[in-house]
Amino acid sequence: MSIVKLTAPLPRTLVAKAVADALAEDLGLIGDVTTNATIPADATATALIKTRATGAVSGLALAEAAFRALDPATEFEIAHPDASTVAPGATIAKITGNARAILSAERVALNFMGRMSGIATLTARYVTAVAGTKAAIVDTRKTTPLLRAFEKYAVRCGGGHNHRIGLFDAVLIKDNHIVAAGGIDNAITAARAHAGHMVKIEVEVDTLTQLEAVLAHQVDAVLLDNMAPETLKEAVAMVAGRALTEASGGVNLDTVRAIAETGVDLISVGALTHSAPVLDLGLDFLA
């Protein structure tokens, strides 16, 4: 894994609210009873966010905001910014501030960063697996409810690309839409007539026959669902650059390279956001 040039940062406006809600969830009406009983109110401390595994970093803005929410004077020095690759034992950031604040915000900070770095790390594995091909690794809408902005950002930190944000910003015509509309032609015509002119249209197909029907229309992308590599290769040839080609279904780290080598433009992987294990991060206090 190498460092990704990250051009689309997390919208600043989303961070404060998510952190405030997460802290409220953990602190409740009483706060951190253990820390308040055992740590003097004015004690200060320095702690390091370290990784215990290899991975890609994501979520530092949320961690920083969590500590600052409890102690606005917290110093937060970043050693490895978001989208960096880190090895076990690496220090990602150094935090200096009120000791109670650090201990009370620790879990919220790590819960955000661990999950987001887990997604970035899994994404980076897929990106690495297809290195040298033209295929981009893209996410899906299979994200954790309420955390989509953060998870799509984490995918970008791992070198992946974002598919549509939600149901509102792109058309993706699937089986049920086609049936209800009375066929592929009707569905595409209806979508073209009603979607805004800045909205792209993608159509999902399961077979080359369906693909042929779709290609009678001008669409922006075709989603080739659950096709074997050889079929994908044939599909790419049929499309011949008239639309972006996206493979989905049956994608895992064992199969992704073969899929990429079929020449598809995009490979979408739901697991990036719905099944990435956490990156094992910890907070170590300096003596």
Instruction: Write out the catalytic residue numbers.
Output: 107, 142, 174, 204, 225
Task: Note whether 268 and 246 are within 8 A (CB).
Answer: yes
Q: Is 125 in the site for its own copies (CB under 8 A)?
A: no
CA proximity to 93, closest of 124, 118, 59: 59
Residue 80: CB minimum distance to its own copies, A: 17
Considering the rule CB under 8 A, would residue 152 count as an interface residue with its own copies?
yes
- Cβ contact 58:116 at 8 Å: yes
Q: Which two tokens stand for residue 250?
A: 């049956």
Interface residue with its own copies among 3, 87, 180, 258 (CB under 8 A) is 180
Q: How far is it, in rounded angstroms, from Cα 186 to Cα 178? A: 8
Binding of its own copies at residue 122 (CB under 8 A)? no
Element spanning 64, H or E: helix 60-70
Closest distance to its own copies from the beta carbon of 251 (Å) = 13
Find residue 76's DSSP bridge partners.
95
Look up residue 197 and give its DSSP letter. T
Q: 176 or 209, CB closer to its own copies?
A: 176
Task: Tell me the closest approach of the beta carbon of residue 25 to its own copies, in angstroms.
Answer: 5
Q: Kindly state the smallest distance separating residue 237's Cβ from its own copies, in Å.
A: 20
Residues 64-93 touching its own copies, rule: CB under 8 A, are 69-70
Write down the least CB distance from residue 64 to its own copies, Å.
14
Q: Determine how many CB atoms are found less than 10 A away from the CB of residue 31.
A: 14
Q: Does 48 bind its own copies (CB under 8 A)?
A: no
The reply to whether 46 sits near its own copies by the rule CB under 8 A is no
**Smallest Cα–Cα separation from 281: which of 104, 63, 19, 127?**
63
- Exactly one of 53, 133, 195, 255 binds its own copies (CB under 8 A); that residue is 195
Between residues 185 and 261, which has the closer beta carbon with respect to its own copies? 185
Q: Considering only residues 204-243, where is the footprint of its own copies by CB under 8 A?
A: 220-221
Q: Does 191 engage in binding with its own copies (CB under 8 A)?
A: yes
Of the two residues 13 and 209, which places its CB atom closer to its own copies in the complex? 13
Choosing from 63, 90, 129, 136, the residue that interacts with its own copies (CB under 8 A) is 136
- Residues within window 242-271 making contact with its own copies, judged by CB under 8 A: 244, 246, 265-266, 270-271
Q: Which of 142, 233 has the CB closer to its own copies?
A: 142
CB neighbours of 230 closer than 8 A, spacing ≥ 6? 262
In whole angstroms, give the CA distance from residue 222 to residue 218.
10
User: What's the closest the beta carbon of residue 131 comes to its own copies, in angstroms?
Assistant: 17
Helix (H, G, I), strand (E, B) or coil at 152: helix
Amino acid code (one letter) for 245: T
Instruction: Give Cα 55 to chain centroid, integer Å.
Output: 14
